[in-house]
Structure 1
Amino acid sequence: MPKNKHSKKDDTSDSDSGPDDRGPIAPAKKAKIQSKGSGDNDDNSWDLGKNRFVKLTEFKGKWYVNIREFYNADGELRPGKKGIMLTMEQWHKFKEVVPELEDAIKRNV
């Protein structure tokens, strides 16, 4: 009977994606964000730390809030598979539940 290479206990990732979306590991250095597509503007990007960013992006004429983990490829940060892109409707619903989320965090953390 074959054994699994990884067990749930061995997984140290704080994301729900697998290892296939992790980029190559490079020495730590100041890297610029490089992403394909909609001519990103640094005014519409916010660093959350640990190579995670929130970006306001336009795609096919619609605006989205993109929360994504990036990886370092040859000194440039590239978008990975880990993340979520919210429509404006989803973003507004999310903002509505933030106060309840804050209360739950205060009670539980």
Structure 2
Amino acid sequence: MPKNKKESSSSDSDEGPVDRNPVPSKKAKMGKSDDSKTSSRTDDKEPTWVLAGTKLVKVREFKGKCYVDIREFYEKNGQLLPGKKGISLNPEQWRKLLSIGDEVNEAVSSMC
């Protein structure tokens, strides 16, 4: 009987599996298309920079405190929303990260 069930189901499409939630292009989401600038800051209400695709850096306030949020975002109903993948650093942690930047760059250069 499962064989008959499989044969009786029909599909209007022969294109195979389709991603029902394709990732919109960076230009469509961010509203900027000038790749010649070194900064990729957007015109958002929160200072925002695009790392790549939907990976963003934002300076934002959450529960009355300021954070540097490095996070992967997703689109829902035309809005970019923060996803689970990411990290929020308070200003002290952000400054510490910046202070070790040269050491991290050296390690990346020697390993990658």
Q: Distance in 2 between matches of 1:63 and 1:56?
A: 7
Where does residue 105 of structure 1 map in the other structure?
A: 108
Could you tell me how far 1:27 is from its partner in structure 2?
A: 5.7
Per chain length, whose mean CA-contact separation is higher, i.e. which structure has more relative contact order (CA < 8 Å, sep 6+)? 1
**TM-score of the superposed pair, with normalisation by structure 2:** 0.61
Return the index of the structure with the highest Cα Rg: 2
RMSD: 2.2
Unaligned runs of 5+ in 2: 1-19, 32-43
What is residue 22 of structure 2 aligned with on the other side? 26
For structure 1, the 5+ residue unaligned runs are 1-23, 34-39
Code of the residue aligned with 1:28 in structure 2: it is P
TM-score, normalization by structure 1: 0.62
Aligned to 1:13: none
| 1-structure distance, mates of 2:109, 2:30 | 35
* Moved beyond 3 Å, runs of 4+: none
Residue by residue over 1:72-108, the C-alpha shift from the partner in whole angstroms, topping out at 9 and shown as x without a partner, is: 2233322111110001111111111110000111111
Residue aligning to 1:9? none
Residue of structure 2 aligned with 1:89, choices 79, 92, 111: 92
Q: Work out the percentage of aligned pairs sharing the same amino acid.
A: 41
